[in-house]
Amino acid sequence: MSSRSENSDDAAQRMLAAVPDAPALGRGSNMCHEASGRALMASIGTGKGTVDLADWERADAIWLMGDNAATNAPRMLTWLAEADRRGAQLVHINARPTVHQGLHARLPPQPAGSRARVHHPVGPGGVRARAAARRRRPRERRLVLATIRSHDQFNTTIYYNDDRYRGLKGLRTVVFMNEDDMRDRGLDEFDLIDIASFSKDGSKRTAYGYRTVRLEIPPGCAAGYMPELNVLCGIADYSAESEQPVTKHLAVEITSSHGSEPEQ
């Protein structure tokens, strides 16, 4: 359900999709905020931010860390612009790591017209962080997969096939993996893979023909784009607290593809 649709549209779609005993059908903003709001309420006592807008009006300096305000929080820009006009000092630290020019990857031959390429960010700690990841390497074959947005993606709406956050261009059918997890499974970068998920109700779902991409991600974890990989979330896979799909915590197995048709 798009957060841009009208309330009447939402109501009509809920009635059409109503299924007895099914989890609540929310709109895009519910799926975006409900789960994090429940977690915030349990941890800090409020489901929203701890800063009041009145604080912004009086602040002499505003620090933004771990967020690209123009892309991730466009409504914040009005308040930032007003703070700038009255002379407040603004410090904006973008969380995206610097692209390391020595780690450009070479793709296997691509179809005509394709422009897929990737730059690998070096995460905090560099070589030391990678060594620590190897020491923490899990023994289990299953990984925890989270579906994520690319850059310039509003909820499930895709505007471009490029992802400036992760240095990937022209390719969305990918799974980001820790290099040690790739090595454990005999996988090289851009190998074709299949991803099988295991639902709470015992069912198994598989997405075929994706490619592996190395990223500084904790061992035992993986990530891929939504909405493409939302197919791996079964009807029983939802949070009892927020009643939202647990697309950030899917149990999956990743194996080399054996000639299966890729997902379209």
Helix (H), strand (E) at residue 135: helix 127-135
The total domain count for the chain is 3
pTM of the predicted structure, to 2 decimals: 0.64
For residue 16, the SS3 value is helix
CA atoms within 13 A on the CB side of 79: 18
**pLDDT tens over the chain, length 264 residues:** 444 455 555 566 656 655 555 555 555 556 667 777 788 888 888 877 777 778 888 899 998 887 777 766 777 888 888 999 999 999 887 655 544 332 233 344 444 444 444 444 444 444 444 444 444 444 468 999 999 988 778 766 787 888 888 888 889 999 999 999 999 999 999 999 999 999 988 999 999 999 999 999 999 999 999 989 999 999 899 888 888 888 889 999 999 997 554 444
In the beta sheet, which residues pair with residue 206? 196
Q: What is the spatial distance between Cα 67 and Cα 157, in angstroms, rounded to a whole number?
A: 20
127 and 195 both lie in a single domain:
yes
10 and 33 both lie in a single domain:
yes
Q: Which range marks the domain in which residue 64 is found?
A: 55-95
Neighbours of 161 (CB within 10 A): 15
89 and 105 both lie in a single domain:
no
60 and 9 both lie in a single domain:
no
214 and 118 both lie in a single domain:
yes
On whether residue 264 sits in a domain, the answer given is: no
Contacts of 83 by beta carbon, 8 Å cutoff, 6+ apart:
56, 59, 62, 90
188 and 151 both lie in a single domain:
yes
Q: What is the spatial distance between Cα 19 and Cα 27, in angstroms, rounded to a whole number?
A: 16
46 and 137 both lie in a single domain:
no
Closest listed residue to residue 204, CA positions, set 234, 164, 176: 234
Neighbours of 105 (CB within 10 A): 14
**CATH number of the CATH domain containing 169:** 2.40.40.20
On whether residue 121 sits in a domain, the answer given is: yes
